[in-house]
Amino acid sequence: MAARRPSKTPLVTPTSFADLGVPGRLVAALEQVGISTPFPIQAATLPDSLAGRDVLGRGRTGSGKTYAFAIPVLARLSSATSPRLPGRPRSLILAPTRELATQIEATIAPLAATLSLRTLTIFGGVSARPQVSALRAGVDILIACPGRLADHVSNGDAILDAVEVTVLDEADHMADLGFLPVVRRLLDKTPPRSQRLLFSATLDAGVDVLVRRYLSNPVTHSVDSAKSPVSAMTHHVLQVRHDDRLPVLIDLTAAPGRTLVFTRTKRGAKKLTSQLVASGVPAVELHGNLAQNARTRNLAAFSAGDARALVATDIAARGIHVDDVTLVIHADPPAEHKAYLHRSGRTARAGASGTVVTLMTDDQVSDVRALTRQAGINPTITRLRPGDSLLTELAPGERRFVTPPAATAAPQHERGHSGGRRRANPRTATSGSTAGTTRGRGGESRRASAGQTTSAPRGAAAFSAGSRVGSRRGQR
């Protein structure tokens, strides 16, 4: 196989998608969804991918990779005359997690509809029958997790010999999850001369094997690396006593805006969600022990603002694209620096600003210092107790709590291992904490205690211990 072609960077960054060669119909469709200016990864890769070349795109999370591969796929299929055949998708996008596959489909579907293209997302954890029916009806763009797609291929419900372009998104994460053997089997089923696009934040050994085996003379565009700092992202490490972790978390998550909280374990995510809800913070959980419908429901509640906090394991570190996540909290520092970077990348996306906070106990000092050094960041480290004024600087605004109704207790299978829930008093938990001066709707200044119980949006009024969400009636 020919050597990989070097990276190319445009001398002048184009100011529009039309400048990059995107077809007019697709430019108009992008403008309808509010996308008019290309990001660097898009400006770098689109001229080659639109020309039909194999492309390896490297860039940190949140850099705009989804549109970088969605646009050439849509452009190619909309201009081709190939028919839509039963069970034979015309393009394939592989993603490592259900959440990422779902969000890729959400990005592509509105554009595909304007071009009369049909999309389908398949993954495990749900019934295979509707997926089989949709495959038989014919699909242009198939977005799939490797495991469930391999099942459909082995059963003869999906045949990949008509695939014109294949995309591997978050290839390094697929390698981390052990998906590379099944990915290789799937790629072996696609036409060897079809176009292939691979996007990854890093180029580890496993990913490099895929590049060398399946990409033909690829053009490499490395816009930035996984360690590239995000100028609009600030990093803080809060050194706290173990008993102060929960009061500090309650204070931060009770502030306005969306907060994403990471824990190391599924049990830890469930427990912390229950504690936040019992303390009056509308929160939901996201981890591998939840059924797919619960995962979808909880992520939708967080996206809609019904839940202000999403407590997740590393399942959400990749591919969870929720607009306006202002704060990411590492309640448990991750085990390695790549996880830190991908977790943190859920904020400060698409040019927005964001804050990253890591809680560190005394016995974690050496590990966290090594972690941040390997991640290439220089965080501000502060030892503090609940009520410290820095908390309101990191998460400004009036702290708002709701009273969780006793009638909304979670069913037994959704509770923690003890089968019950412990309630915490938000006034006690955030004792001494004060919120910063905030502006009301009329612009007036007001100051509120962080422990003050105030009204909350009606849509957030009925939360159970982490899995059920409140009614969205009356949502503002």
pLDDT tens readout for residues 384-397: 999 999 999 999 99
| Same CATH fold assignment for domains 18-222 and 233-460 | yes
Which pLDDT score is estimated for 91? 98
Which pLDDT score is estimated for 62? 60
Q: Which CATH superfamily is domain 233-460 in?
A: P-loop containing nucleotide triphosphate hydrolases (3.40.50.300)
Which pLDDT score is estimated for 307? 93
User: Are the CB atoms for 183 and 212 separated by under 8 Å?
Assistant: no
Which pLDDT score is estimated for 290? 86
Question: Would you place residue 383 in the very low, low, confident or very high pLDDT band (cuts 50, 70, 90)?
Answer: very high
263: pLDDT strictly greater than 90: yes
Q: Which residue has the higher pLDDT, 7 or 115?
A: 115
Residue corresponding to tokens 């052990």: 178
Read off the pLDDT of each residue in 356-370 and give the average, rounded to a whole number: 94
- For residue 254, give every residue at least 6 positions away whose Cβ sits within 8 Å of its Cβ, in sequence order, or none: 280, 281, 308, 399, 400, 401, 426, 430, 450
Read off the pLDDT of each residue in 349-356 and give the average, rounded to a whole number: 66
Question: Would you place residue 328 in the very low, low, confident or very high pLDDT band (cuts 50, 70, 90)?
Answer: very high
- Share of residues in the chain with pLDDT > 90 (%): 52
Q: What is the mean pLDDT of the chain?
A: 80
Dump the DSSP string for 298-343. HHHHHHHTS-SEEEE-GGGTTT---TTEEEEEESS--SSHHHHHHH
Lowest-confidence region among 143-152, 271-280, 437-446: 437-446
Domain ranges of the chain: 18-222, 233-460
462: pLDDT strictly greater than 80: no
Lowest-confidence region among 275-284, 365-374, 417-426, 432-441: 432-441
User: Are the CB atoms for 57 and 9 separated by under 8 Å?
Assistant: no
248: pLDDT strictly greater than 60: yes
Give the whole-angstrom CA distance, residue 49 versus residue 134: 28
Instruction: For 394-442, write each residue's pLDDT tens digit.
Output: 999 999 999 865 544 443 334 333 333 333 444 333 333 333 333 333 3
371: pLDDT strictly greater than 60: yes
Read off the pLDDT of each residue in 139-159 and give the average, rounded to a whole number: 96
Tokens representing 158? Answer: 């999906």
Read off the pLDDT of each residue in 460-464 and give the average, rounded to a whole number: 37
Neighbours of 328 (CB within 10 A): 25
Which pLDDT score is estimated for 399? 93
300: pLDDT strictly greater than 90: no
Lowest-confidence region among 193-207, 272-286, 335-349: 335-349
SS3 176: helix
Question: Would you place residue 232 in the very low, low, confident or very high pLDDT band (cuts 50, 70, 90)?
Answer: low
Question: Would you place residue 39 in the very low, low, confident or very high pLDDT band (cuts 50, 70, 90)?
Answer: confident
Give the whole-angstrom CA distance, residue 131 versus residue 147: 14
Burial class (CB in 10 A: 0-12, 13-18, 19+), 266: middle
322: pLDDT strictly greater than 80: no
Q: Which residue has the higher pLDDT, 60 or 452?
A: 60
Read off the pLDDT of each residue in 249-263 and give the average, rounded to a whole number: 94
- Share of residues in the chain with pLDDT > 70 (%): 75
Instruction: For 76-113, write each residue's pLDDT tens digit.
Output: 999 988 889 999 999 999 998 888 898 899 999 999 99
Amino acid identity for residue 461 in this structure: A
Read off the pLDDT of each residue in 176-184 and give the average, rounded to a whole number: 87
User: Are the CB atoms for 253 and 450 separated by under 8 Å?
Assistant: no
Question: Domain 18-222 adopts which CATH fold?
Answer: Rossmann fold (3.40.50)
SS3 210: helix
Read off the pLDDT of each residue in 223-230 and give the average, rounded to a whole number: 51
Which pLDDT score is estimated for 6? 47
Which pLDDT score is estimated for 251? 96
467: pLDDT strictly greater than 90: no
205-214 and 180-188 helices, crossing angle to 10°: 0
